[in-house]
Structure 1
């Protein structure tokens, strides 16, 4: 059974969403404040399939909570907000959100997005379970133990950092990362590259792994935010 944690201070909305998700066969935990949500996260982080997180909360704001979530978990996060602001959406994606929904929204749209996020998360976990040490995508196989990559059955010659970068993005398929986040995660250091250097590094990796040099099939650019590994592969 998939377990969803909802962090929102709107008790009426939480009750409605919990009822709908429970009817879909999910187990739904509800926290009405950021501090309660973080407590529930700590207690259930290994069992969660999704977190639904409101931006506006009475104690901690959603972006602060999201940063904490990303320190300890890769569970998908769907952010909710009453603000129809592109800036809020960009901040959320840059901080590590997987999707964004603006209030008011239809329950059917919410459940569709919940299903999609959980399905992607479960699929990636199943890849690890079925073929330990390998990631398998359309046309690509990453051998984690031997640090090799094959595209369309042809082995690709990657440098150590190119492999690390590809593995990091592939391990988080569909999640958007800024250039700074990529650098701090892959190089494990404070951000010292400028954006043009990161862009150049990704461009070189793309030229090696993309089946069609004119089409970014695996590593996609999310304009104004950063990069992600294609969620459809």
Structure 2
């Protein structure tokens, strides 16, 4: 995966220097010279690290940090010319991950960058794994609500996804139509079996794995349905 780094700093000479350091390490670097454009760029695109100066014009680094933290957990390395314990504590309390006081050595800077990106990459991999249910030829991402069959993304309606996720999360357990309705529709069961059967039929067709000849949802006659225990 390409590691992208965003630098938010009004010191153009320093930005140029840091960009050169990072490009030597094969990082893709974007530069913003003010807080407003930095926030827009940081929120609109995916980065593995943001390098943020505290002393910015109009909107300081603490304000930028606070705004970005409302929507993103990307690592943020704060830079400042002040050797101030107050600034350091303030930044860390607001959500910064690390702190460097100018001037700093190239090797120390690169070491901090690599450490933050490594921790973030490992955390994201574990988080993504925990958010994904994986079966033979089928992957369900709970958070992104994405379903893949043999690597192809399958378009499901919101209720179809909820139905699949409910059954897959309880692999092998048999549910009656009433239990499925109560859990997925979250309403009192109205004995409308045809509605549930229609949803399951459509879902089965969409996720049927013809390549592996698998049906992920099984009918247990006289009882209900379950997610295939054999996958």
TM range (shorter): 0.5 to 0.7
Partners in 2 of 1:35 and 1:132 — Cα distance?
33
* Equivalent residue runs for 1:40-55 within 5 Å: 40-44=41-45, 47-55=46-54
**Where does residue 27 of structure 1 map in the other structure?**
28
Structure 1 residue 20, shift from structure 2 partner: 1.2
**Where does residue 128 of structure 2 map in the other structure?**
129
CA contact (8 A) 2:43 2:68 kept: no
**Stretches of structure 2 lacking an aligned partner (at least 5 in a row):** 134-231
Number of equivalenced pairs: 133
Given the two structures, how large is their TM-score scaled by the length of structure 2? 0.55
Partners in 2 of 1:69 and 1:132 — Cα distance?
23
* Equivalent residue runs for 1:191-206 within 5 Å: none
**Where does residue 207 of structure 2 map in the other structure?**
none
**Where does residue 100 of structure 2 map in the other structure?**
101
2:71 maps to 1:72: yes
Structure 1 residue 133, shift from structure 2 partner: 6.3
Structure 1 residue 131, shift from structure 2 partner: 4.3
Partners in 2 of 1:40 and 1:113 — Cα distance?
22
The higher-RCO structure (CA 8 Å, 6+ apart) is 1
**Where does residue 17 of structure 2 map in the other structure?**
16
Partners in 2 of 1:78 and 1:90 — Cα distance?
13
Cα deviation 1:32-54 (Å, max 9, x = unaligned): 1111101211321xx21000000
Cα deviation 1:180-221 (Å, max 9, x = unaligned): xxxxxxxxxxxxxxxxxxxxxxxxxxxxxxxxxxxxxxxxxx
Tell me the C-alpha RMSD between the 2 structures.
Answer: 1.6
Partners in 1 of 2:104 and 2:25 — Cα distance?
18
CA contact (8 A) 2:6 2:47 kept: yes
SS of aligned partner of 1:72: coil
Partners in 2 of 1:40 and 1:130 — Cα distance?
27
After superposing on structure 2, the runs of 4+ consecutive aligned residues of structure 1 that deviate more than 2 Å are 128-134
SS of aligned partner of 2:83: coil
CA contact (8 A) 2:65 2:95 kept: yes
Larger Rg computed on CA atoms = 2
Cα deviation 1:155-196 (Å, max 9, x = unaligned): xxxxxxxxxxxxxxxxxxxxxxxxxxxxxxxxxxxxxxxxxx
Partners in 2 of 1:83 and 1:105 — Cα distance?
12
SS of aligned partner of 2:70: helix
**Stretches of structure 1 lacking an aligned partner (at least 5 in a row):** 135-233
Structure 1 residue 100, shift from structure 2 partner: 0.4
SS of aligned partner of 1:48: coil
* Equivalent residue runs for 1:46-195 within 5 Å: 47-132=46-131
CA contact (8 A) 2:43 2:72 kept: no
